[in-house]
Chain A
Amino acid sequence: MPPEGSAGREAGRARRRPLGTLRDVTTQPQVRARAIEAAPLATAAPIPGTVPTRPIPRGRGAVHKIRRFLIRTGPAYLFILPAVAAMLFVHYIPMAGGILVAFKDINLFTVTRWYDAPWVGLDNFVQGLNPDGFLGSRFWQSLWNVTFFGAVTITAGYVIGMAVALLLNREFPGRTLVRGIILLPYITPDSVAYSVWRFIFQARIGLVNMWLMKLGIIDEPVIWLVGSNAIYAVMLAAIWKGWPFAALVLQAGLQTIPRELYESAMIDGASRWQRFRYITLPMLAPVTRMLILVSILWNYNAFNQFYVMLGKDPGPAADVPSTLILRETFSTFNFGVGSAMSVVLMGVMLVLTMLYLRALRASERGQA
C-alpha cells in the first residue's frame, strides 16, 4: 500500500482498484468520502464485506449532504422513475379521477361536461349501497355472490393445484410434457374456454345434462345457466380454468424445498402425512400466501367467466359487482353511481387484503 498522496489522485486510483482493496482506502474518513463519490457503483450495489457498516461521517453542510444523497441513491431513483411515471399516469391519476367522479352527479345529461357536473357528496354511494333500493340490494347480493364464488373456487383450485403439484414433483418419464399439458386450461383464452363451458352446460344439447340423464341421475334436463344454478356452473368452469395456475406456482415452491429436510425426516421415521404437514406445508407458506392473495384480488374483479357464460345479466343469484356495475351504470351513462360502487368494491378488496395479511402475520407469530 503506497502512502496516501492527494485525495483526488487516490480516489482516481481507488476506482481502478479491485473492490477488495476499497476497505483499505476508506480508513481515512475524508479520503473515503471522495472515494465513494468517485466510485458510486461500488457503493450503490453493496457487496458484503466491502462496504463499511459504520455510518458515513458528515461532510461540509447541506450541499454536501444533498450531493452525497444524489450520488448514493440518485441512480436508483432515476432507474425507477419510468415505472413510477407510468404507474402515476396509467394507474393512480385515473384512479383518483374515478374516486372524484364517485362524488359527482355524472349521468347522461352531464357526462359530456363532467368537470362542471355538480358535487353531490355521498348521494351516489347512498343510491348504490342502500340495501332497500334496487341497485343497493343487487350490489350487496353481488358482493356476497362473488365472495361465495371465490371461497369455493380458490379453495378447490388450491387443493387440486397442490395435489397435482405433489404428483408432478416426482421423477417420471414425460414429466416435462405433462407439466406443459396441465397448463392448457390456463392458457386458453377466457372467451374461448367459457364459451365452451356454456355449451357444455346448455340444457337441451349440453354434455352435462346428457351424461346426468344417461347415468340416471336426472330425469329431465336441468337448466343450469339460469337462476340459482348458474353460479355453480360458473364455479366449475372457473375451477377448471384456475387450478393449473395454483399447480404451477406450488410446483415452483416445491422445488425450493431442500431434499435434506425430507431425508432427515425419513430417518426420524416421519410418516408421509407428517412430512407433508410439517415440512411441505410450512415451507410452501410464503408461496401459498402470495397465491391466495392474488387469487382473492382477481376474484373480486371476476368478470369474464360470468359475462361469457351467463351474459350481460346473470340474474340476481349469480350477478357479480363487475357485471352489475357495467350493466346498470356504465351502459346508461350513470358513471357517478358506477364509480361509487367501484370505489366501495376497491375498499372491500383493500380491507380484505389487510385482514388477510394481518391474520397471516398473527398466525406466523403464533407458530414462532
Chain B
Amino acid sequence: MRSASRWTAVVATAALVLALGAGAALAQGTEITFWVMPNAADVIHVPWLDQKVEEFYRETGIRVRYEIIGWDQAWSRISTALITGEGVDVFQAGTTWNPQFAATGAVAEIDIDKFGGADAFMEANLISTTYKGKYYGVPWFAETRALFYNKDMFAAAGVEPPQTYAELVQVGKRITEVFGEGSAIAIAGTNAWDLIHNWAIILWAYGGDLVDAQARRATFNGPAGVQAMEYYVDLVRLGLASRATAEYNQPQADAAFINGNVAMAFMGPWNIADIEVENPSLNYGVVEPPAGPVGRAAFSGGSNLVILGASPNKAAAEEWIKFLLRHDNLVSYTRDLSKMLPAKVDAFNDPYYESGVWQVFRRGLSYATAYPPLGVWGDIENAIVAEFRNILTAYVEGNLERQGGVQAFLDRAAQRVNEALARER
C-alpha cells in the first residue's frame, strides 16, 4: 500500500518534470503577437491583459505581446498581415470576417478537438469559424441584440414591452402620443456599418432568409424581405423613429436611448457597459427581440480567435487561445470586461449568466442565427447595405415610391449578391 503510493508519487513527479520540460522546450524564447479589439475600456482592459500575459508567461514561458486595435483599422491591419504573412500570430476577428479570411487561404486550419471539440462551443459561433466545412478559428465570445426599453417612459405611456413586431408598432404609437414624434425607437440609418443586422432579424422573423440553403441565390428580395424592409421604413414613416435617424450611425442611435430621449432600441450586451458609464440612473429593461409571423429571430455575432497561417509559432498561439478560453479566464473576460457572453458552453452555463438581463441574451442566443460562412460575404453585405442606405435616403428625400419602392432596391441588391455568389468557389 505504502510502496504503491510512493510509486504513484514518483510517477507523478516524473510526469510533472516531463510536462515542465515540454513546456520549457516550447517556450524556448517563444514570443507571439496578439491583436485584440477594444472589447472594453482601456482602463480595465489593459490591466487585465497585462496580468494575464504575465500569468501565461509564468505558466508556459511564452511571452505574449498584445496590441489593441480599433475595429475600423483592424480590417486593413489583418488584411496586410494575411497578404504578407507577417506582423501577428493570433488575432481577434469578427464572426462575419472569419470565413472571408479563411477563403484567402492565409489563416491556419484549426483542429477543434484540441480546444474541446465541436460540442464545446455555441453552435452559431462555431459555424462562423468554418469555411467549406473546415475550422479556421476558435469562437471566443458571443453577442446578440435584444430590445432595450426605458421603464419610466413605458410606465408614463402605460404600455408593456412588446412581444411581437406588430405590438411594437402599437406600443410605439402610444409612446409618441405622450413623448412626441420620434421618441419611440432609436434605429440606425445610412451611416451604420451594422445596418444589415437590424434588418436581418426582422427578415428572419417574417420567414425570409438572405440566401437559399445552398448559398447559390439571393432570397431576401422575396415577400418576407420586402415586408421586413417596409417595416423598418415604417418605423420612420409612422413617426416612431425620428427622420433624422436617416443620418445616424449605430452609436448615435444607442446614445439616443442611453440618454433617455427615446423609449426603445435594439442593442447588444456591450451597451450595458455604456449605460453604466454614460447614464447609470437609466431605468431600463431588456426583452427578447419581438416575434414575427414565424416566431422570434436573433443575430448571432461575436468574435473568434484566428491564427495566421504563416505564423512560425502556431503551437504557442494555440496555447494562448486555450488559456483565454479556460473557464475562469473566459468568464472573467466576458463578465468583467467585454459584457459579451462566452462562446464556450461550459462558461456560458456559468450561473452568472442565469441572472438579470443575461438570461434574456442567453435565451436570444439559443435561437440566434449566424450568416452563411461565405468567402464573398463582404460583397454580399456591401451590396445589401448599399441598397438599404439608398432606400432610407430615397424615403427621406420623398422619392422612394417614384424609384420603384422597396422591391426595386432589393432586386438590385439581389442581382449583385447573385453575382457575388457566383464568384464563390
Q: How would residues 224 to 259 of chain B score, 1 for a CB under 8 Å from any chain A CB and 0 otherwise?
A: 000000000000000000111011010000000000
Inter-chain contact B393/A108, CB cutoff 8 Å? no
Asked, given contacts A108-B104, A112-B83, A315-B190, whether A204 binds B423 with beta carbons under 8 Å apart, the answer is no
Cβ of B402 to closest chain A Cβ, rounded Å: 14
Interfacial chain B residues near A112, Cβ < 8 Å: 82-83, 85, 104-106
- Give chain B residues whose Cβ lies under 8 Å from the Cβ of A107: 423
CB < 8 Å neighbour of A331 from B75, B389, B416: B75
For the complex, what is the distance from the CA of A108 to the CA of B103, rounded to whole Å? 7
B193 in contact (CB, < 8 A): yes
- A134-B246 Cα distance, complex, nearest whole Å: 23
Q: In the bound complex, what is the Cα–Cα distance between A332 and B379 (angstroms)?
A: 6
| Docked pose: A330 CA to B394 CA in angstroms | 27
B371-409 contacts to A, CB under 8 A, are 375-376, 378-379, 382-383, 385-386, 389-390, 392-394, 396-397
Chain B residues within an 8 Å CB radius of A203:
243-244, 246-247
Is B79 positioned at the interface, with any CB of A under 8 Å from its CB? yes
Interchain CA distance A205-B395 in the complex, whole Å: 21
Task: Kindly state whether residue A327 has any CB partner on chain B within 8 Å.
Answer: yes
Least CB distance, B151 to chain A, in whole angstroms: 24
What residues of chain B lie closer than 8 Å to A332, measured between beta carbons? 100, 376, 378-379, 382
Partner of A313, one of B79, B242, B386, B423: B386
Q: Which residues of chain A are within 8 angstroms of B386 by Cβ–Cβ distance?
A: 313
Within 304-336 of A, Cβ neighbours of B (below 8 Å) are at 310-313, 315-316, 327-328, 330-334
Residues of A within 8 A of B243 (CB): 203, 221, 223
The one of B246, B390, B397 that contacts A228, using a Cβ cutoff of 8 Å: B397
Query: A80 CB to closest chain B CB, in angstroms?
Result: 31
- Provide the residues of chain A in CB contact with B162, threshold 8 Å: none
A202 within 8 A of B: yes
Residues of chain B within 8 A of A226, CB atoms compared:
189-190, 246-247, 392-393, 396-397
| Set of chain A residues within 8 Å of B105, measured between Cβ atoms | 109, 112-113
| Contact call B190/A313, Cβ cutoff below 8 A | yes
Contact B244 A316 (CB under 8 A): no
A227 in the interface, Cβ–Cβ < 8 Å? Answer: yes
Contacts of A111 in B (CB 8 A): 82-83, 104
Q: Given A226-B190, A315-B190, A333-B104, verify A204-B396 contact (CB < 8 Å).
A: no
- A246 beta carbon closer than 8 Å to chain B: no
- Asked whether A225 lies within 8 Å of B376 as measured between CB atoms, the reply is no
Quick check: A312 and B193 within 8 Å, CB to CB? yes
Across the interface, which residues of B come within 8 angstroms of A228, CB to CB? 397
Instruction: Judge whether A232 is part of the interface by a CB distance below 8 angstroms.
Output: no
Task: Give the residues in chain A near B412, CB-CB below 8 Å.
Answer: 134
Question: Would you call A114 an interface residue if the criterion is a C-beta within 8 Å of the partner chain's C-beta atoms?
Answer: yes
- In the assembly, what is the distance between CA of A311 and CA of B248, in Å? 10
**What residues on B are CB-neighbors of A315 within 8 Å?**
190, 389-390, 393
Q: How far is the CA of A113 from the CA of B104 in the complex (A)?
A: 9
Which of A202, A227, A330 counts the most chain B CB atoms within 10 A? Answer: A227
Q: Chain A 211-231 against B: per-residue CB contact (8 Å), 1 yes, 0 no?
A: 000000000010111111000
Minimum CB distance partner of A138 in chain B? B386
In the complex, whether B30 has a CB less than 8 A from a CB of chain A is: no
Contact yes or no, A225 B247, CB < 8 A: yes
Chain B's closest residue to A135 (CB) is B416
Tell me, rounded to whole Å, the shortest Cβ–Cβ distance linking A152 to chain B.
Answer: 21
Interface centre among A114, A224, A334 (most CB of B within 10 A): A334
Shortest CB-to-CB span from B360 to chain A, Å, is 30
The answer on a CB contact under 8 Å between A109 and B375 is: yes
B393 and A109 contacting across the interface, CB-CB below 8 Å: no
Residue ID in chain A nearest B412 by CB atoms: A134
For A, the interface residue count at a CB cutoff of 8 angstroms equals: 31
Q: Which of A109, A316, A330 has the most CB of B within 10 A?
A: A109
Q: Nearest chain A CB to B312's CB is how many angstroms away?
A: 17
Chain A 96-127, CB within 8 Å of chain B: the 1/0 string?
Answer: 00000000000111011110000000000000
Q: How far is the CA of A129 from the CA of B260 in the complex (A)?
A: 48
Partner of B103, one of A109, A311, A327: A109
CA of A227 to CA of B243, assembled, Å: 13
Q: Which residues of chain A are within 8 angstroms of B383 by Cβ–Cβ distance? A: 134
What's the Cα separation between A312 and B192 when bound, in Å?
9
* In the complex, residue of chain B having the shortest beta-carbon distance to the beta carbon of A315: B393
A residues less than 8 Å from B378 (CB atoms): 108, 331-333
Q: Mark B300-341, 1 if CB is under 8 A from A, else 0.
A: 000000000000000000000000000000000000000000
Given A108-B375, A312-B193, A331-B75, A223–B246 Cβ distance below 8 Å? yes
Asked if B416 contacts A134 (CB within 8 A), the reply is: yes
Determine if B191 is an interface residue (Cβ-Cβ < 8 Å): yes
> Does chain A have a CB within 8 A of B425?
yes
B78 to chain A, nearest CB (A): 11
Q: Which of chain B's residues has its CB closest to A328's CB?
A: B382
A327–B381 CA distance with the chains assembled, in angstroms:
11
A114, A202, A312, A333: the one within 8 Å of B247 (CB): A202
Closest Cβ neighbor of B104 among chain A residues = A112
CB proximity of B209 to chain A, nearest CB, Å: 22
Which residue of chain A is the closest to B398 with respect to CB atoms?
A227
Known A108-B375, A227-B396; judge A313-B389 contact (CB<8 A).
Answer: yes
Q: Which residue of A lies closest to B380 (CB)?
A: A332
CB-CB under 8 A from B390, the residues of chain A are 315-316
A319 to B189, CA, bound (A): 17
Cα distance, A230 to B193, chains bound together (Å): 18
Q: Report the Cα distance A221→B247, complex, angstroms.
A: 12
Expressed in whole angstroms, the Cα–Cα distance for A221 and B393 within the complex equals: 15
- What is the minimal beta-carbon distance from A110 to any residue of chain B, in angstroms? 9
Cα A111 to Cα B309 in complex, Å, equals 14
Q: How far is the CB of A84 from chain B (nearest CB, A)?
A: 27
- Once bound together, how far apart are the Cα atoms of A227 and B376, in whole Å? 28
Measured between beta carbons, the chain B residues less than 8 angstroms from A224 are 247
Q: Nearest chain B CB to A2's CB is how many angstroms away?
A: 69
Give the contacting residue for A109; candidates B76, B85, B191, B425; CB below 8 A.
B425
Q: A-side interface residues toward B, CB under 8 Å?
A: 107-109, 111-114, 134, 202-204, 221, 223-228, 310-313, 315-316, 327-328, 330-334
Could you list some 29 contacts between A and B, CB below 8 A?
A107-B423, A109-B375, A111-B82, A112-B82, A114-B83, A202-B247, A203-B247, A204-B242, A204-B244, A221-B243, A221-B244, A223-B246, A223-B247, A226-B190, A226-B393, A226-B396, A227-B393, A227-B396, A227-B397, A228-B397, A313-B385, A315-B389, A315-B390, A331-B75, A331-B378, A331-B382, A333-B79, A333-B104, A333-B378
3 A-B pairs with least C-beta separation: A332-B378, A203-B244, A204-B244
| Given pairs A112-B83, A223-B246, 4 additional interface contacts (CB within 8 A) | A107-B423, A109-B375, A112-B85, A313-B385
